[in-house]
Amino acid sequence: MQSKGMETLHEAWRRRVAIPAFTTYTLESTRAICEAGAAAGRPVIIQAGSSSFAAVGRPLLAAAALAMARESPSPVGVHLDHATDLAEIRACIELGYSSVMIDGSHRSFEENVEVTRLVVAEAHRRGVWVEAELGAIAGEENVSAGTAASRRSGLTSPEAAAEFAARTGVDVLAVAIGSVHGIPDCPVHLDLDRLDRITRVVPVPLALHGASGLDEAEVRAAVRGGMAKVNFNAELRRAYLGALHRLVDDTGDDVVRVQRAAVEAMREVAAAKIKLLGGDAGR
């Protein structure tokens, strides 16, 4: 069943568990995510950004995600990730997305507030919830980082986060506490003290981006600290490509066998992340 998701997110936030959000690029990854959620009986979020749409196009990838969400026996949210283009946000709202993210983190604070307020007003009129980002999360969403340098100067200020949430009315806030998009080549550690200070002054659920490759104990600690939405991408990508590499020489032109192996590999990763987050909210 497609889920608008805010009730489930608030329940997760209240209980200090989290909903996993997985990035999809293909029909196989979309299926794997939904199957993992259904098998666990737990809610999941399928998300895609502009780069996810690049190869197959927004309407086709979105249609697959929305159709699978409707058919799933467990709640599935369909989310637009890291959008900077208002036209794309409006298009996804029209398509029937549960939620959208306006990423104004590259803008000045005042510009970020302004564009987020605009998106919140438009999305809420359509019953769609909004995620925004404050602070600088290093790395690329679509490739693993080559370094663990996390731009400590770009971490989210608790005071700025409180002001931002109050002025924008945003539903979920992604904050920078040291994570890196992709899987870095050396350990990354979260600033859990900063997270605690943010949680004390921000009255909305928080989102952790760049959770792939983080120490599992730190992920659990971040969830206990208020992260109600946790994003995973790189580990599913690696599972998908790993399945292709393992089978491509053995299967000849048996595409179906390769597709099934890719779905299974990504489903296993997604299932492990669902279990890691402990999220039985919305069961």
**pLDDT tens, residue by residue, 36-63:** 999 999 999 999 988 899 889 999 999 9
- Strand-pair partners of 19: 229
Kindly report the average pLDDT of the chain as a whole number: 90
Q: Look up tokens 């969403």; give the residue.
A: 141
**pLDDT tens, residue by residue, 233-281:** 999 999 999 999 988 877 678 889 999 999 999 999 999 999 999 844 4
DSSP three-state, residue 76: strand
Surface-to-core class of residue 166, CB atoms within 10 Å of its CB (0-12 exposed, 13-18 middle, 19+ buried): middle
Residues 261/247, Cβ–Cβ less than 8 Å: yes
Domain residue ranges of the chain, discontinuous segments joined by + = 6-277
Closest by Cα among 211, 206, 213 to 164: 206
Instruction: Report the pLDDT value the prediction gives residue 187, as an integer from 0 to 100.
Output: 73
Helix (H) or strand (E) holding 91: helix 86-95
Neighbouring residues of 261: CB distance < 8 A, sequence distance ≥ 6: 243, 246, 247
Question: Residue 177: pLDDT above 70?
Answer: yes
Instruction: Report the pLDDT value the prediction gives residue 144, as an integer from 0 to 100.
Output: 47
DSSP three-state, residue 205: coil
DSSP three-state, residue 189: coil
State in Å, rounded, how far the first CA of the chain is from the last one: 12
**pLDDT tens, residue by residue, 188-209:** 889 999 999 999 999 999 999 9
CA distance 106 to 111: 9
Q: Report residue 131 as tokens.
A: 């995620």
Indicate the pTM of the whole model. Answer: 0.91
Neighbouring residues of 57: CB distance < 8 A, sequence distance ≥ 6: none
Distances (CA, A) of 65 to 2, 90, 154, 206: 10, 17, 33, 24
Question: Residue 150: pLDDT above 60?
Answer: no
pLDDT bracket for residue 183 (50, 70, 90): low
Find the mean pLDDT for residues 93-99: 97
CA distance 228 to 128: 17
Question: Residue 3: pLDDT above 80?
Answer: no
Question: Residue 283: pLDDT above 50?
Answer: no
Q: Is 253 a catalytic residue?
A: no
The half-sphere exposure of 216 on its side-chain side, counting CA atoms within 13 A, is 7
**pLDDT tens, residue by residue, 122-144:** 999 999 999 999 987 665 555 54
CATH topology for 6-277 is TIM Barrel (3.20.20)
DSSP three-state, residue 102: strand
Find the mean pLDDT for residues 212-239: 94
CA distance 233 to 216: 15
Q: Report residue 211 as tokens.
A: 């959770």
Residues 219/180, Cβ–Cβ less than 8 Å: no
Number of residues assigned to the chain: 283
Question: Residue 78: pLDDT above 50?
Answer: yes
Q: Which residue has the higher pLDDT, 34 or 180?
A: 34
pLDDT bracket for residue 104 (50, 70, 90): very high
